[in-house]
Structure 1
Amino acid sequence: MLQIGSNLANDVFDYLRGAESKERLGPLRVTQAGLLTPKEVQMGMWITFALAALVGTYLFIVAGWLILLIGLTAILAAIAYTGPISDKGLGDIFVFLYFGVAAVVGTYYVQALTTTPAAWWMSIPIGLLIVNILVVNNLRDIDVDKAANKITLAVRMGVSITRKEYVLLLAISYLILPILAWMSIIPTWTLAVWLSLPFAWKVTKIVLNESGRPLNAALAGTGKIALIYSLLFFVGIVLAVFF
């Protein structure tokens, strides 16, 4: 729900500040397309955050103050993302913290009421893979954002370095696994994640060779990489229980 609320905030606030135009390269946005008014989208945003707060209240009762702290700061970060966070090129850091560390470690903590080294370590590759979704998004929009004076990290670094950032984050996500397995932090079976490498390379070639609207395919593909990576890691955990 926080993700939905963040998307709605991004939708309406980008529109209000003039960062959206008919030249938009990404998927349809309801405010820019005139399907909903800014007031309606803002209402949806607040309703979504309110529902997230209700769920967070339950999790707070179950798991304590740590979850409440994560939830409240996540809501504030989601609202601020479109403005000061993304404009200062800090979006990548906040996505890593909340979709990597907070998501993985927080989920583990809610269920176990404790954390483990494996939970902390595995929040790194998951976070980096989710950051790469933002990297592709900002790479695609680099010219549009520059024209709208939206200074994302991609705008600051330029096309070439942003592409290298994508490759670096992807490489770390895969190379960290054998190191953690060698350190006995995660089971060796979790190296099943490497079965997704051919697909990851296919998506990476799009990132390295395309620009503009064709990068929408890489955007969707990067999301699939994160999903497949996570599912294969889960399969590895299950196999380690039985073998």
Structure 2
Amino acid sequence: MATAAQWLEGARPRTLPMAFAPVIIGSAAAFGLGSFEPLNAVLAAIVSVVLQIGVNYANDYSDGIRGTDTDRVGPLRLTGSGAAPPRQVKLAAFTCFGIAMVAGLVLVILAQTWVLLIVGVACVAAAWGYTGGKNPYGYRGLGDVFVFVFFGLVATLGTTYTQANQLSAAAWIGAVGTGLIAMALLMANNVRDIPTDSVVGKKTLAVRLGDTASRVTYVMMLAVAILLPLFLVHDYPWVLLVLVLIPACIMPSRRMLTGTHRTTLIPVLKQTGLINLGFSILFAGGIVITTNLA
């Protein structure tokens, strides 16, 4: 029977910055539009965080029963390690999906944004289909697209829309930026797992690109994300704050380009998650400061 600490590790708390980042950015974009709604922001955060945890448990379950995690390098997986029965991990995943759907429904009712009900159902279906079902798209190299679309575009733009009922250039650029950093985190994870994923037929984008190209792609994703806010400087000059993150990107980028042992890539996951959180805070700060000074 898995301990509480093992369940917490199975939830992969290092990935939670990927859930908070779009909500912070989306709320700041709404503030820039003069429509910040704290309660809606909290509900959006609950949806994003619980859905992220649910995805983590769903991946743990699906990869575990397929044998993908049998010879895994990295943090504990509940199913693959045998720490918890597959049925319990699956139940944990769907419990999280249920909580996310309830919080999302309340958010939609408060914001009167009924079209997002369809988006919410699509989010849960995509979360399960990532590695679950008979033909998981995560095994065909489309997991990165899922992360960019749902934990970048949908989470950020949905947060803004449920507060302001409109979108802005800041919301779009912030969404693309955080989506790219989230993709970079997944890329780092998948580069580490190339040897084991290749054996079991899990053709992630990293497997398809190959080791060297995947490492370079990681660096490019970070670079583009950090530089994108420059397009907003005319309207929000304080978004230049995001450039403070450049030194923080050097260490994980160097590890990705030069790390020969798979275990040396493990810290990159946490570092990339923190970069995403830092990006969201600095980007949001730039929007809020500029708006208040206007």
Output the TM-score relative to the length of structure 1.
0.94
Question: What amino acid is aligned across from residue 89 of structure 2 in structure 1?
Answer: V
User: Residues 174 and 283 of structure 2 are in contact (CA less than 8 Å); yes or no, is this contact kept in structure 1?
Assistant: no
Corresponding residue for residue 3 of structure 1: 52
Corresponding residue for residue 24 of structure 1: 72
Distance in 2 (alpha carbons) for counterparts of 1:196 and 1:111:
28
In the alignment, structure 1 residue 230 sits paired with structure 2 residue 280: yes
Please state whether the residue corresponding to 1:214 is helix, strand or coil: helix
The structure 2 residue matched to 1:105, chosen from 157, 160, 164, is 157
Number of paired residues?
239
Distance in 1 (alpha carbons) for counterparts of 2:252 and 2:219:
11
Distance in 2 (alpha carbons) for counterparts of 1:224 and 1:115:
26
User: Residues 97 and 127 of structure 1 are in contact (CA less than 8 Å); yes or no, is this contact kept in structure 2?
Assistant: yes
Distance in 2 (alpha carbons) for counterparts of 1:18 and 1:148:
8
1:53 CA drift (Å): 1.2
The structure 2 residue matched to 1:147, chosen from 180, 187, 199, is 199
RMSD: 1.3
Q: In the TM superposition, what are the counterparts of 1:1-243 in structure 2 within 5 Å?
A: 1-21=50-70, 23-63=71-111, 64-83=113-132, 84-182=136-234, 184=235, 187-210=236-259, 211-243=261-293
Change over 3 Å in CA distance of 1:179–1:60 after alignment to 2:
closer
Give structure 2 stretches of 5+ with no counterpart: 1-49
Output the TM-score relative to the length of structure 2.
0.78
Question: What amino acid is aligned across from residue 247 of structure 2 in structure 1?
Answer: P
Distance in 1 (alpha carbons) for counterparts of 2:186 and 2:95:
25
Give structure 1 stretches of 5+ with no counterpart: none
1:107-159: per-residue Cα shift (whole Å, max 9, x none)? 01111122222212221111101111100000000001001111111111101
Question: What amino acid is aligned across from residue 17 of structure 1 in structure 2?
Answer: R
Corresponding residue for residue 27 of structure 2: none
Distance in 1 (alpha carbons) for counterparts of 2:100 and 2:230:
36
User: Residues 191 and 211 of structure 2 are in contact (CA less than 8 Å); yes or no, is this contact kept in structure 1?
Assistant: yes
1:65 CA drift (Å): 2.1
Question: What amino acid is aligned across from residue 209 of structure 1 in structure 2?
Answer: T
1:235 CA drift (Å): 2.0
